[in-house]
Structure 1
Amino acid sequence: MAVSYTQFPGHWGFDAKASPPWQMLPVGGMRFLMASGTFGLAPRVHVPSGSAASLTATESFAAGYSLLKLTGIRGGKAFIDWAPPGTSLSDPFVSEGLLEVSVKAQKLVGTAFHYVEAGRRQTTARRIADLEDMIRGANELLTPQANVRLESKSAKILNLRQRLGKVVYDAGDPEKPWKRDEWEIVTRNADPSADFNVFFVREFEDDDTPRIDRTDAAVRWWERNCILEDDTGHDAAEVLAHETMHLLRLGHSTKAAHLSAPGHLRTGTIITRDQANIINRSGT
């Protein structure tokens, strides 16, 4: 019987579509996988040359399957395979049932949050009191799948003397069909000591259709700045997590089920192996 894996519980950094299947394991954390087809076999941990990974893999039994418990000790890449008990680790991999494991140290993103007030038409409706819930929601997507964690460095009202229009435009490209570019007006107030600066505004637009509302937020990763509007088409925590992935140098996915898919396409919040390994290179 072929060895196969199912994560227990839910989707916690397991990529069944990777080859071989892949599991993210946080340093100091645990993950559980149900493994079928392992009768009479035991898990072995293989650490490739050059990797500093340290983890344990133990199994318990239930009707028809093994429950594989992985515990992360030190960051790095490793592999799990299944072999008859007593098989030496010096023996070759058993390719059937091979599982790749990335033991990832936590990547903290210290973030400064700015609540823009710039006249009646361009003052955010968001409140600092709601920020904790937004950060928690973003981390519920990022941390279990890639061990990335947002942390609030500061949160304050940003009162701009220069009044902005009804929509904050980021022209970016001088060939775009409008002249007003307000990105710099807003983001020049960034905290240079933060890993990430997030500016909340009432309305924002940055694509080639300035009069059609289809942009929730944008990031310039090289500046470490993000502008995020009030009227997001998705939950604000999901948008914040999506933009954090852009900050960490990940582009858009064409798969709707991925968290990194653009807002008009996105239907899910999955982070794959390859995406997790870009936004948090620990364990690669």
Structure 2
Amino acid sequence: MVMATANRMIQKGSTGADVKLLQGLLNQKVPLPKLPQGKKLAEDGIFGPKTDAATRTFQQMKGLKADGIVGPKTWGALGVTYTGPGATPAPPAGKPKFEEKKPKDGFDGAVNPPWQMVPMSGQKTVILKNADNLTVVSRNPGIATVEDDPKCFVHGGRELIIKGKTKGTTFIDVKNGAATVASLEVAVKTKKTVQASFHLVEDSAGHKTSRSTSSIDGWVKTMNDIFLPQANIQVTKKRAISVKINKDLGAVVRFSSHLPGVPASEHEWDLVIAKGDASADFNVFFVWEYEQDINPNHDDTDAGTLGKNCIFEDHAGTNVGDTLAHELGHTLGVNDFYGATEKPLLMYGITDQRGQKIPKAHANSMNP
């Protein structure tokens, strides 16, 4: 049987069941051509020259010191828990810690203290670990209350149900006697409704979007799946219609008024958005192709949003609902982000590479 743990360091000359385990794992993890003589190791429990050579090859593959000694780091790289001399001790239970119950549900653990959005007259559940015998209280029960879910959970912590009472910010405190040992910031938000109108654009020369009104309800659902649980923002479809521009807009619809040397006649943004819904909070115009830089023949823009108007091209990736939500994020006051650590965010600037996460700062800008 394959062992899950190893309690000693082994090297050339060692024998035993842990050597046999090592040989089996090396046979699995080192490509056959890289094993000695291109053959699998004999799983005989004897750490000989061939096992030594295969160990060094594996260590090189993993960027470890290629010394042939199978210690804590090499065992770990093999997927084995090392419990012998030099093992890293198990971390202590530690301070009480709040964690999200489920992803994209209005929790931000990257800020200090962690933060949770709760809808007014609604509730959210968070996990609290390392706090079995501690007291949990709300600083202002008039804004939000907290109670324990009495069930037991596989994660070993507690689950707290936080209910939003009135709009505002308060804190859930974890207390050891009179001392506060951890806190969770809670923002109770009223529902913000965004009325969105969608326009399928065609010009006088027959250029027109390939999109259909039948897809819009699904995209609105995706937008609400993102915004409602994280910022208490609901998108409603106000209208979805076809609109005709009485001009040949050409193969590319352009926003170019900011570009030096481009003729004013090529700035077509104003012609398109003039067909919008003045009473809508967010106007989307689906077009065949859209660009806003100096080279309109190179497709490097999927959509553009200014104020409450968005022009959205047919080639704007596959996750259309996500991209529409991203563009609405601009209307709601949040700019693009491009850092490698910001890829999980809805407001990451690259189409089909972004996530759907709305952190505290963005949620508070979108729905103060």
TM-score by length of 2: 0.69
**Maintained 8 Å contact 1:259/1:266:** no
Match in the other structure for 2:286: 200
SS in 2 for 1:67: strand
Correspondent of 1:62 among 141, 152, 161: 152
SS in 2 for 1:134: helix
Moved over 4 A (4+): 176-179
Match in the other structure for 1:36: 129
Match in the other structure for 2:226: 141
Give, in whole Å, the separation in 1 of the partners of 2:145 and 2:349: 38
1:77 paired to 2:169: yes
1:17 paired to 2:100: no
**Maintained 8 Å contact 2:104/2:226:** no
* Matched residue type, 1:247: T
Once the two structures are overlaid, the 10-residue window that deviates more, 16-25 or 178-187, is: 178-187
SS in 2 for 1:117: strand
Cα displacement (A) at 1:62:
2.2
**Maintained 8 Å contact 1:118/1:159:** yes
1:158 paired to 2:158: no
Which structure 2 residue ranges, 5 or more long, are not aligned? 1-93
Cα displacement (A) at 1:5:
2.0
Computing the radius of gyration from Cα coordinates, the structure with the larger value is: 2
SS in 1 for 2:328: helix
Match in the other structure for 1:229: 313
Give, in whole Å, the separation in 2 of the partners of 1:158 and 1:71: 45
SS in 2 for 1:62: coil
Once the two structures are overlaid, the 10-residue window that deviates more, 159-168 or 97-106, is: 159-168
CA RMSD in angstroms, aligned pairs only: 2.0
Deviations along 1:58-96, one digit per CA (max 9) or x if unpaired, are 113525311111111221101001125xx6xxx6x71x3
More strand, by proportion: 1
* Matched residue type, 1:79: F
Deviations along 1:222-256, one digit per CA (max 9) or x if unpaired, are xx211111111241101110011100111112322
**Maintained 8 Å contact 2:318/2:352:** no
SS in 2 for 1:270: coil
Give, in whole Å, the separation in 2 of the partners of 1:136 and 1:265: 18
Aligned in 2, Cα 1:175/1:34: closer, same or farther, shift over 3 Å?
Answer: same
Once the two structures are overlaid, the 10-residue window that deviates more, 254-263 or 205-214, is: 205-214
Which structure 1 residue ranges, 5 or more long, are not aligned? none
**Maintained 8 Å contact 2:118/2:163:** yes
**Maintained 8 Å contact 1:53/1:78:** no
Match in the other structure for 1:258: 345
* Matched residue type, 1:112: S
SS in 1 for 2:98: strand
Aligned in 2, Cα 1:35/1:54: closer, same or farther, shift over 3 Å?
Answer: same
Correspondent of 1:167 among 252, 263, 269: 252
**Maintained 8 Å contact 2:175/2:182:** no
Match in the other structure for 1:240: 324
**Maintained 8 Å contact 2:347/2:354:** no
Cα displacement (A) at 1:165:
0.7
Mapping of 1:51-130 within 5 angstroms? 54-60=143-149, 61-62=151-152, 64-84=156-176, 94=180, 96-119=181-204, 122-130=207-215
How many residue pairs are counted as aligned between the two chains? 268
Give, in whole Å, the separation in 2 of the partners of 1:100 and 1:208: 46
More helix, by proportion: 2
* Matched residue type, 1:263: I
**Maintained 8 Å contact 1:214/1:264:** no
SS in 2 for 1:103: strand
**Maintained 8 Å contact 1:53/1:103:** no
